[in-house]
Amino acid sequence: MSKKGATEIYQPGKEFSKKARISSMAQYRRLWRESIDQPEKFWAREASELSWKQPWKEVLDWKAPDAKWFVGGKLNVCENCVDRHAFGERRNKAAIIFEGEPGDRRTITYSQLHREVCQFANVLLARGVKAKDRVLIYMPMIPEAVIAMLACARIGAVHSVVFGGFSAESISDRLADSGAAHIVTADGGWRRGKIVPLKENVDEAIAKNKAIQSVIVFRRTGQEIAMKKGRDHWWHELAATASAKHEAKAFDSEHPLFILYTSGSTGKPKGILHTSGGYLTGTYTTCKYIFDMRDDDVYWCTADVGWITGHSYIAYGPLAMGVTQVIYEGAPNQPDFGRFWQMIEEHRVSIFYTAPTAIRAFIKAGDNFVEKHDLSSLRLLGSVGEPINPEAWRWYHRKIGGGRCPIVDTWWQTETGAIMISPLPGATPTEPGTATLPFFGIDAAVLDDYGKEVKANEQGRLVIRKPWPSMTRTIYGDKARFKKTYWSDYPGIYTAGDSARRDKDGNFWIIGRLDDVLNVSGHRLGTAEVESALVSHKAVAEAAVVGRPDDLKGQAVVAFVTLKKGFDPSPALQSELRNHVGKVIGAIAKPDDLHFAPALPKTRSGKIIRRLLKELVTTGTVTGNITTLEDFSVIEQLQNSIKGG
């Protein structure tokens, strides 16, 4: 570390730089410039490292906001992630080292992965799944989740993975929006020593849904579950009769690969659609330069496949690179907070990618859980999901990285498909709290309301000015919302929805969301979603939800609720409402604090002023402009109700 003025700069280690693909800032700058001046040349070079069954005619067809990448090219995404390695020198290399929460272990080589994926592709085909059909995947973090995704990709079906922590209602909403008629799930999964009843949730979600043609159930936990004749099938029984041979057909570069739902500023999650050739090129290229993946690495990303990180940096990018990766099913503190460190020691993990919220939980648990373990196999650390606070950064660097591992703080989104802003570990000087500089081909900037770049250290809107291969193509079934959400602030420019500033060296400091989206433990949660869950309860008249800073989660969910006539505030109703939100959305959305309010602060036109509520929960008082308020006494009443708990 060196001190430059008041700032704290960490230079990449000499040893690391020497071996890295990009080993100096001069090299980064040269390549970045080229990638911005001639993006098509840069991306074509990267894409040509993948296997294409038919070459593209044109690298990019761009009519904002519609991008087509590698136009006319054909490839099979699954073949690139599996077959390419399964028949060459990597055939007996571990693709996946799996550890279940109870401690069971399994290693799957590339050759075995190929067999399993082909077999499951044949299972899907036998169920009648065709190209472009949507398949909903609701699985624990086990290799079969990845196998199911890859099998869909192999036959051109579009997967829509739903995070295993989401509720039955969330599944049914996503089924309705995506029109999926097939579901892949498991009897359950292990989490904190308990079974997550996945199949039971699916049953509840589809009880009245006649459109579902099949539910394929992997046996993970072995407990009794209901199986509906004709509709539900055991994975192992279908696989037993399916051939392990499957010839992968080529699909168009713009063939849809998956839909992943993410929260926005309305109550309805957005189905972010990604396509094939560009997405794979983006995830592959970022794995190569940002994680600097090598054949002898053991890579571990602790995300769940239910989030974009699990798509891009578990299922697709790392496998396209042919790396060995660890997949872990359970909670970080099962049986105790030493679990991750023990796994890093035992599997000799060399690249570790996790979230700031997890790091903060480890800091709180105490260093003794870390100190017992030999973490000398680590060479690179990554962070994703929210701004990493400098204290957590330093601890991660010192305690986990032994002071020798570079940290890549990677900024990106479900919509961007791949990492957009990040240090390159062998080149970029880092500073705790900044994601540093844009990746190759990424023209990121911070703009003011008029579309002008702001001055150094001024806050503005984070945008991307040029198209990139892994960008989302649309919101499934809602092109108008796609245009409005991402492309209406400035013509032809993508707005990320984050505020940011750049320092005088050009480093990006991400400040937070500009919309009504919270970041709870690195997961996006729309305040409108929680509000609509609350008002669906019979006792609730109105609800307003805001975020409050939280030491562990980044942001905690705070709800203000007014009750209908005939209902009175009580601790029992408070917990009933919290559980109701858990049931409608999932446990991550349960409000941390729930206040009963006699009224909500509103403008004269009846709009709830969330800004005041935010200030109230953050500071305990309201000092800002309240002249637009319809009824001034509301603030006083709310202040009292917060003090009263």
Q: Which residues would be at the binding site for ligand PRX (CB under 6 A)?
A: 262, 308-309, 384-387, 409-414, 435, 496-498, 510, 513, 519, 524
**Which residues, 6+ apart, have CB-to-CB distance to 562 below 8 Å?**
540, 541, 542, 543, 596, 597, 598, 599, 600
Considering the complex, what minimum distance in angstroms separates the CB of residue 370 from ligand PRX?
A: 22
Question: Which CB atom, from 325 or from 472, has the smaller least distance to ligand PRX?
Answer: 472
If phi > 0 it is left, if psi is from -120 to 50 it is alpha, else beta; for residue 522 that is left
Question: Which CB atom, from 384 or from 635, has the smaller least distance to ligand PRX?
Answer: 384
Considering the complex, what minimum distance in angstroms separates the CB of residue 430 from ligand PRX?
A: 12
Considering the complex, what minimum distance in angstroms separates the CB of residue 414 from ligand PRX?
A: 3
If you ran DSSP here, which 8-state letter would residue 247 be given? P
Question: Which CB atom, from 112 or from 416, has the smaller least distance to ligand PRX?
Answer: 416
Considering the complex, what minimum distance in angstroms separates the CB of residue 490 from ligand PRX?
A: 17
What whole-number distance in Å separates Cα of residue 168 and Cα of residue 583? 7
Considering the complex, what minimum distance in angstroms separates the CB of residue 44 from ligand PRX?
A: 26
Considering the complex, what minimum distance in angstroms separates the CB of residue 82 from ligand PRX?
A: 24
Are 414 and 259 in contact, with CB atoms under 8 Å apart? no
**Which residues, 6+ apart, have CB-to-CB distance to 571 below 8 Å?**
none
If you ran DSSP here, which 8-state letter would residue 398 be given? I
Residue 261: alpha-carbon gap to chain centroid: 10
If you ran DSSP here, which 8-state letter would residue 188 be given? -
Alpha helices in 377-438 (DSSP H): 390-395
SS3 sequence, 314-382?
A: HHHHHHHHCCEEEEECCCCCCCCCCHHHHHHHHHCCCEEEECHHHHHHHHHHCCHHHHCCCCCCCCEEE
Question: Which CB atom, from 101 or from 173, has the smaller least distance to ligand PRX?
Answer: 173
Considering the complex, what minimum distance in angstroms separates the CB of residue 51 from ligand PRX?
A: 27
Considering the complex, what minimum distance in angstroms separates the CB of residue 425 from ligand PRX?
A: 15
Question: Which CB atom, from 78 or from 384, has the smaller least distance to ligand PRX?
Answer: 384
Question: Which CB atom, from 300 or from 412, has the smaller least distance to ligand PRX?
Answer: 412
Considering the complex, what minimum distance in angstroms separates the CB of residue 434 from ligand PRX?
A: 9
* Cis amide prior to 65 (ω within 30 degrees): yes
Burial class from Cβ neighbours inside 10 Å (0-12, 13-18, 19+) for residue 219 reads middle
Question: Which CB atom, from 277 or from 385, has the smaller least distance to ligand PRX?
Answer: 385
Question: Which CB atom, from 70 or from 163, has the smaller least distance to ligand PRX?
Answer: 163
Considering the complex, what minimum distance in angstroms separates the CB of residue 164 from ligand PRX?
A: 16
Considering the complex, what minimum distance in angstroms separates the CB of residue 519 from ligand PRX?
A: 6
Question: Which CB atom, from 80 or from 472, has the smaller least distance to ligand PRX?
Answer: 472
Q: Which residues are 319's β-sheet partners?
A: none
Burial annotation 538-564 (CB, 10 A radius, 16+ → b, else e): ebbebbbbbbbebeebbbbbbbbbbbe
Question: Which CB atom, from 214 or from 474, has the smaller least distance to ligand PRX?
Answer: 474
Token pair listed for 78? 């699954």
**Which residues, 6+ apart, have CB-to-CB distance to 291 below 8 Å?**
299, 313, 318, 351, 353, 380, 382, 408, 425
What whole-number distance in Å separates Cα of residue 94 and Cα of residue 298? 9
Question: Which CB atom, from 117 or from 161, has the smaller least distance to ligand PRX?
Answer: 161
Burial annotation 64-86 (CB, 10 A radius, 16+ → b, else e): ebebbbbbebbbbbbbbbbbbbb
